[in-house]
Chain A
Amino acid sequence: MMKAFFIMVAGAMLLFGGQACAALSASDQSLFQEANRLYRGDNYEQAAAGYQKLAAAYPGEAVFQFNLGNAQFRLKHTGAAILAYEKACMLSPRSRDIRANLDFALSQLEYRIEDKRSWYVRAGEDWLGRITEAEVTMLALLAGFLFFGSWALAVWFRAGRPWGGLHKALLIFFLTSLVLFAAKRVETHMIRDAIVMVKQAEVRFGPSEGDRVAFRLGEGLKVYVIDRRQDWSRILLVNGDEGWIQNSKIAEVLA
């Protein structure tokens, strides 16, 4: 019995302990410093290339995306800048610098879309946007451990006794964290944010060039991808309009 228990524990440690945190190598650190030096010298093109390389190598680092956004903004690539800021915001949602730059880049857009969603949807999105998926996962794990652990103790040492207030509170905490976790998963993975990357993009009533144009979008506008085909994506706007756009004209934030 004990032997089996230890085997399982060892298995769990191997399973969950395998994802080591990638540390920045010395060469990448010098690449980062070099990109910063290029940025300071107004060489935004090469600085952007450096940040892009680092962002690809370390997809969990918000700093590279943030700096990439700045370099793209200086190059007047508004769509690419907003995409990088959105990615940075997803990784570090409470960073004031990232928020400020994202808001500023959005304020420079020529077009705007009136948000016609109900207030609670907007508030929900805003609230979920201020926490990362990893944080929500950690919260759910903590709540799960507290709940399952206390329940296991009760089963082993207090068998037959009714649930007390602590157990009920832990259950509510666990269920709430699960709902939050599910909402964040839906927000991140099912309603996928995307940014328009071209100066003007035609959105059509169907996924082909033969379909009529429904409306046009300007560079940097955010859309939600609700369906994806090989070359076309079905998108939804915050004003409720929807249509089909070519994949080459947008870039998903969670690529």
Chain B
Amino acid sequence: MSTIRRRARLAFFCMAAALLILPGSLRAEPEVAVIFNTRQAAVGQEVALTIRISGAQGNIQAPHIPVPDGLESFYTGRSSNLSFVNGVSSSSVEFSYVLVGRRPGSFTLPAFDVQAGGKNLKTEPVTFEVTGQGGGVPAQGARHAASQPQGPLAPASAVQEPPAAFHPEDDNIYVVAAVDKTTAYPNEQIKLSYSLYTRYDTRYEGFSEEPEMSGFWIEEFPPDKEIRRDTVRVHGKPYVRAEIRQIALFPTAPADYTIRPGTLKASIRQEPQQSQSVFDEFFNDSFFSGGGFFSRRENRLLKPAEVQIKVIPFPEEGKPANFNGAVGSFRMTAVTDKDQVKQNEPVTLKIQIEGEGNIETLKKPGVPEMKNFKVYESDSATDLAKNGFVIGGKKTFEVVFIPLEAGEQFIPKLSFSYFDPRTRQYLTLFTPGFKLSVAESKEAAVLPQGLVSPEDLKKEITKEGQDIHYIAERLDSAPRRSAAAQASRVLWILNFLALLALAAGFLRQRQEQVFAKDASLKRRKYARANAVAKLASLKKMARSEDSKEIARFFEELDKALTLYLSDKFNLSAFGATRHGLEREIEAALGREHELYRDVLKVYSLCEEARFGRGAVSSEHRHEALVIFKKTVDIFEKVLK
């Protein structure tokens, strides 16, 4: 039994191995074929050339076509196909090119080598005819041959002009950011499209710098499963144009806007490499290139030109009072959840606005003030739809009405206004009016879920309008204004005085510092001031005829004169003798000076008065005062 089982097992393995090996053994040798969609074309007309390589394994690089002079070629992509029919597998890779004749004549595409599956395949020479002037009529059936499962490439469009005032660094590859309208109303949809124009084998790698679009509400259109591409001619040159990104913009306010469209990253393949890797096939499928991951690629940063958009204000003519900035094309429906209710039983009105436009920003139709109802906003929901390249959808609002009185009650028609930019007109939609049969009830109001708080039952005080505050009819009281002005003046004066006092204090400090270093200076400096002060009191005493006062006068005069002279000559006020003072005066003025004699005379008078008991006449007193003043004046000059 075990032997039979072993044999059966062996037979099974042999059959499985045969099944696995057989298809490989039956696989055909790699082949290459050059296929034209037509053998005759006019000058400027595009001819689709396909190089089909079947039965080859591993990565296959796009062949390099030796184009004869008078023809122009560009590569548009590749596609691959793998089938398994009746146990037989077959694979093929197609490389697509577009040829354009520049002059009439017969052209032969010579045989050229194609590297496939480690083998060198050779094509057959192919001849085709270019006839007279054609005017650039697009070739029929120009096929796109890039990564599967994309459909055929759209026929080349008529000659396209390059974007105005835009000069790309390399005119073989550039990006154009374009809007479908350059003037729009606020909240009107503007489609911003990014188109990549290339004549290289290109791989789009996303945005390296996102666009700046301040002032716009933005909705991004989801990218297509496959990037849409077609061939176009710009300035007579054929390009592959790929629509890589679409964005819907809704301007928020009237103004002139400049959109900075950001920077895109793309890599272009350089010359095909001869060396291949077993991994090439795996990585060989970019968005629309046949270039492998390991082929040499060059990164390019592509910066489209800025886009200018002018957003104009809404027309004032015919603007409805309830217009809230909705722009587009809308329909409105409304329905109540019941038409027979009890008093205080809530009725929900569901309003649905749908159409094309910025659904997200739609506002609920206004509900007028109603005495018979309490009205509460319940909920709103938005269902955004992106149909093609138009933003739309529907927005649902729920309003709860609570009838306060029994009988027949009416929910009035509610209106919603929008601006249709196509007709440039305002349109107003109305909900139907609803009749409610309200039965009498003593039950308290029960709100639907979401409005259950008792606080919600209290209605907010709402402003019914807004206006400027009324004029002022009374002036500020004059004393108040006067007091403020007075206070300011007083503060100025106080500051001035404080600064003055501060400056004087500093001066005084400085003087004290100087006097501290030279004590005689202080005596000299203040000698005159002391003498003048004394002179004033002596003048009063000189008028007296009382003998005691006269004696005191001369005593004080003696002291004052001695003090002054000792200050001036820096002698001790207490130790100064008459003899010593005479010597100093003599040294300062000379023995012959009149003042020398006068001073001696004053001292004599003083002695005479003291010892002669008031015998000195009043003339002598005045003379003594004059001499004292003269002494001060002269010594202030002499000993300056």
Q: Tell me if B640 counts as interface (CB < 8 A to partner A).
A: no
A107: chain B residues within 8 A (beta carbon): 466
Given contacts A16-B496, A19-B489, A148-B499, contact A63 B509 (CB under 8 A): no
How many residues on A have C-beta within 8 angstroms of the other chain's C-beta atoms?
Answer: 49
Given contacts A70-B468, A104-B467, A112-B253, contact A16 B475 (CB under 8 A): no
Residue of A nearest to B499 (CB): A148
- Set A12, A97, A155: member contacting B493, Cβ < 8 A: A12
A195 at the interface (CB under 8 A from B): no
User: Which residues between 139 and 170 of chain A lie within 8 Å of chain B, taking CB atoms?
Assistant: 141-142, 144-145, 148-149, 151-152, 155-156, 159
Chain A neighbourhood of B488, CB < 8 A: 134, 137-138, 141
Q: Closest CB-CB distance, B234 to chain A, in whole Å?
A: 29
B9 within 8 A of A: no
- The verdict on A73 contacting chain B, using a C-beta distance below 8 Å, is yes
Contacts of A104 in B (CB 8 A): 466-468
* Contact among B214, B475, B486 with A63 in the assembled complex (CB-CB below 8 Å): B475
- Is the C-beta of A5 less than 8 angstroms from some C-beta in chain B? yes
* Residues 99 to 114 of chain A near chain B (Cβ within 8 Å): 100-101, 104-105, 107, 110-112, 114
**A39 with B471: CB separation less than 8 A:** yes
CA distance A9 to B505 in the complex (A): 16
With known contacts A5-B500, A148-B495, A110–B475 Cβ distance under 8 A: no
B473 touches A36 (CB 8 A): yes
Contact A9 B497, CB 8 Å, known A63-B476, A155-B505:
yes
CB of B43, distance to nearest CB on chain A (Å) = 44
A1-22, CB < 8 A from B: 5, 8-9, 12-13, 16-17, 19-21
- Contact pick for B469, options A16, A97, A148, CB 8 Å: A97
Does chain A have a CB within 8 A of B485? Answer: yes
Binary CB contact string for chain A from 208 to 224 against chain B (1 if under 8 A, 0 otherwise): 00000001100000000
Are A16 and B254 neighbours in the complex by a CB distance under 8 Å?
no
A66 at the interface (CB under 8 A from B): yes
Whether A145 contacts B472 in the complex (CB less than 8 A), given A13-B493, A19-B489, A152-B505, comes out as no
Question: Chain A residue with minimal CB distance to B481?
Answer: A21
Contacts of B506 in A (CB 8 A): 155
- Residue from A12, A39, A66 whose CB has the most chain B CB atoms within 10 Å: A12
| Given A21-B482, A155-B506, A149 contacting B473 (CB threshold 8 A) | no
A23 lies within 8 A of chain B by Cβ? yes
Task: For residue B494, give the distance in angstroms from its CB to the closest CB of chain A.
Answer: 5
Q: Is B487 an interface residue (CB 8 A)?
A: yes
Shortest distance between the CB of A148 and any CB in chain B (Å): 4
Closest chain-A Cβ to B617's Cβ sits at a distance in Å of 37
- Which chain B positions have C-beta within 8 A of A17? 489, 493
Interface presence of B600 (CB below 8 A) = no
Query: Within 8 Å CB of A29, what residues of B?
Result: 475
CA distance A8 to B475 in the complex (A): 38
Is B367 on the interface with A (CB-CB < 8 A)?
Answer: no
Closest beta carbon of chain B to A41's beta carbon, Å:
12
**How many A-B residue pairs lie within 8 Å, measured between CB atoms?**
113
Contact of B475 with A24 in the complex, beta carbons under 8 Å: yes
A160 to chain B: closest residue by CB: B509
Interface residues of A in 34-77 (CB under 8 A from B): 36, 39, 61, 63, 66-67, 70-71, 73
A181, CB-defined interface residue at 8 Å: no
- The CA of A9 and the CA of B476, in the complex, are separated in Å by 32
Judge whether B501 is part of the interface by a CB distance below 8 angstroms. Answer: yes
Given contact pairs A110-B254, A111-B254, A156 touches B505 in the complex (Cβ within 8 A): yes
Q: How far is the CB of A95 from chain B (nearest CB, A)?
A: 9
B16 near A: Cβ within 8 Å?
Answer: no
Any A CB within 8 A of the CB of B491: yes
A244 within 8 Å of B (CB atoms): no
| Nearest Cβ on chain B to A24's Cβ, whole angstroms | 6
- Chain A residues near B494: list those with CB within 8 A: 141, 145, 149
By size class, the interface of chain B is 35 or more
Q: Are A16 and B472 in contact (CB under 8 A)?
A: no
CA distance A88 to B220 in the complex (A): 47
Which chain A positions have C-beta within 8 A of B254?
A: 110-111
Contacts of B471 in A (CB 8 A): 36, 39, 66-67, 70-71
Q: Does B407 contact A (CB under 8 A)?
A: no
Q: Chain B residues near A16: list those with CB within 8 A.
A: 489, 492-493, 496
The answer to whether B491 and A141 touch across the interface, beta carbons within 8 angstroms, is: yes
Q: How far is the CA of A137 from the CA of B235 in the complex (A)?
A: 71
Specify which chain A residues have a CB less than 8 angstroms from the CB of B497 in the assembled complex.
9, 12
Structural contact, A67 and B472, CB atoms closer than 8 A: yes
- B interface SS class: helix
Residues on A with C-beta less than 8 A from B255 are 111, 215
- Residue from A16, A112, A114 with most neighbouring chain B CB atoms (10 Å): A16
Residues from chain B with a CB closer than 8 A to the CB of A145 are 491, 494-495, 498
Give complex CA distance A148, B497 in Å.
9
Contacts of B209 in A (CB 8 A): none
Residues A138 and B487 in contact in the complex (CB < 8 Å), given A97-B469, A97-B472, A111-B254 = yes
B205 at the interface (CB under 8 A from A): no
* CB neighbours of B505 from chain A (8 A): 152, 155-156, 159
| Closest residue of B by beta carbon distance from A11 | B496
Nearest-Cβ distance from residue B373 to partner chain A, whole angstroms? 31
Q: For A67, list chain B residues within 8 Å (CB).
A: 471-472
The CB with the most chain A CB atoms within 10 A, among B468, B482, B493, B501, is that of B468
Q: How far is the CB of A5 from chain B (nearest CB, A)?
A: 7
Nearest-CB residue, chain B, relative to A135: B484
The answer to whether A12 touches B496, judged by C-beta atoms less than 8 angstroms apart, is yes
Cβ of B485 and Cβ of A148 under 8 Å apart? no
Assess whether B478 is interfacial by the CB under 8 Å rule.
yes
Beta-carbon contact of A144 and B487 below 8 Å: no
Q: Which of the residues A73, A105, A151, A215 comes within 8 Å of B256, measured between beta carbons?
A: A215
Q: How far is the CB of A22 from chain B (nearest CB, A)?
A: 9
Tell me whether A111 and B501 are in contact in the complex, defined as CB-CB below 8 angstroms, given that A12-B493, A12-B496 are known contacts. no
Do A152 and B509 form a contact, CB below 8 Å, given A17-B493, A24-B478, A39-B471?
no
Bound-complex Cα distance A84 to B466 (A): 20
B330 to chain A, nearest CB (A): 24
Give the complex CA separation of A156 and B481 in angstroms: 37
| CB-based nearest A residue for B257 | A215
> Inside 8 A of B256's CB, which chain A residues have their CB?
215-216
Give Cα distance in the complex from A100 to B495, angstroms.
38
The winner among B215, B472, B481, B500 for most chain A CB atoms within 10 A is B472
For B469, what are the chain A residues with a Cβ–Cβ distance below 8 Å? Answer: 97, 100-101
Q: A13-B493, A137-B488, A216-B256 are in contact. Are A63 and B472 (CB under 8 A)?
A: yes
Chain A CB within 8 A of B446 CB = no
B477 → chain A, closest Cβ, in Å? 11
Instruction: Point out the residues of chain B lying under 8 angstroms from A24, CB to CB.
Output: 475, 478
Interface string of B588-619 (1 = CB under 8 A from A): 00000000000000000000000000000000
CB of B10 closer than 8 Å to a CB of A = no
- Could you mark each residue 549-590 of chain B with 1 if its beta carbon is under 8 Å from any beta carbon of chain A, else 0? 000000000000000000000000000000000000000000
CA distance A13 to B491 in the complex (A): 11
Chain B residues engaging chain A, CB cutoff 8 angstroms: 214-215, 253-256, 313, 466-473, 475-476, 478, 481-482, 484-489, 491-502, 504-506, 508-509
Can you spell out 10 A-B residue pairs with CB atoms less than 8 angstroms apart? A8-B500, A12-B493, A12-B496, A16-B492, A29-B475, A67-B472, A104-B466, A105-B468, A141-B495, A148-B502
Q: Interface on A for B, CB 8 Å cutoff?
A: 5, 8-9, 12-13, 16-17, 19-21, 23-24, 29, 32, 36, 39, 61, 63, 66-67, 70-71, 73, 97, 100-101, 104-105, 107, 110-112, 114, 134, 137-138, 141-142, 144-145, 148-149, 151-152, 155-156, 159, 215-216
